[in-house]
Amino acid sequence: MRITQNVKNNSVMMHLNTINTQRQKYYNQYSTGKRIEKPSDDPAGTAKVIQLNQLLAQNEIYQQNIDDAKSFLTSTEASLSAVNESLQEAVTIALKGASDSTGEDARSILADQVDYIIDRVMAEANREYDSKYLYGGTAVDQPPFEKQEDGTIVMTNDTAINGVHLREISKGDDVQINFSGEEVFMGEDGVFDSLIELRDALEANDGDAIQDAYMKVKDSTIDITRFSSVAGLRYEHINNIEETLSGFDLQMISLKSSIEDADVAEALINYEEMNTIYQANLKFSSSILQMSLMDYLA
């Protein structure tokens, strides 16, 4: 008799636990808004959610690289724009200096102005972004250019200055975000050479040399404009990739939500139904358990 009653009691308790488990599941879905609480709730869905989370995490890394690349290129474009303005000013000075009506003293003053422009351009060539020199290549912790006592400009590290900085902005898409300081500013008839040549020609009061330097400075403005255009194209490409990644993120978030999120209204209805069933079974089970206790005492 006792064994039979124990089996009966265990059956009642198991039934109550089953109903309560269902009731608790719907309550958790309603309170958390999530359909999947543990992998066993939906193994296939859980695997998809894990995969989507990994993709979202990778895209977050890409976004960090994108933010850094855009900021770096923005600083570079601003620097190149400032250099171009200085070169345009030097072109104007060269035209004035090349005029036969400009005397030696006036040309000497113009030479001083060009020397000042050289200092401004060198400041841009040594511009920093996030404590890294824009044009320093892999030598990010030291100024890439230095002005000598004789007024010439030299590179402080002629090997590292050509180093490349890449940012992976999407799978397999590595974008170079820097320009070689040597390529932008140095070389024969480069920015510094043309400005120095103009300064020295003005100081020497040499009209023909001033005319030659004028053409070289003018060519330098074309080179700087070209670098600026390349920077702009790289920025535009990165921006397009960012928009694409944002679209992918929205799609993945939506898919993830469809897999793991619960219908809160439906969960509430299911919970209330299961709670009603649970309360009714609880009363019924209570009467059975009380009867079994009385039988035992009898």
Contacts of 147 (CB under 8 A, 6+ apart): 118, 119, 122, 153
C-alpha torsion 271→277→283→289, nearest 10: -100
Long-range contacts, stretch 228-231, CB < 8 angstroms, 24+ apart: 228/77, 228/80, 228/81, 228/84, 230/179, 231/73, 231/76, 231/77, 231/80, 231/179
Type of residue at 7: V
pLDDT attached to residue 98: 93
pLDDT band at 44 (very low <50, low <70, confident <90, very high): confident
Output the pTM of the full model: 0.77
How far does CA 115 lie from the centroid of its chain? 39
**pLDDT above 50 (res 2):** no
Residue 293 has a pLDDT of: 45
Mean of pLDDT values over 40-62: 88
Query: Could you give the dihedral angle defined by the CA atoms of residues 98, 104, 109 and 115, in that order, rounded to the nearest 10 degrees?
Result: 60
pLDDT at residue 275, as a whole number: 66
Does residue 20 register a pLDDT over 90?
Answer: no
139-177 pLDDT, tens digit per residue, is 888 999 999 988 889 999 988 999 999 999 999 999 999
- How long a stretch of residues is the chain? 298
What whole-number distance in Å separates Cα of residue 244 and Cα of residue 237? 11
pLDDT at 159: 87
Using 50, 70 and 90 to split pLDDT, how confident is the model at 1? very low
- Burial class of residue 113 (count of CB atoms within 10 Å of its CB; 0-12, 13-18, 19+): middle
Average pLDDT over residues 110-117: 96
Q: For residue 298, what pLDDT band results from cuts at 50, 70 and 90?
A: very low
- Collapsed DSSP state (helix, strand, coil) of residue 204: coil
- Amino acid identity for residue 173 in this structure: D
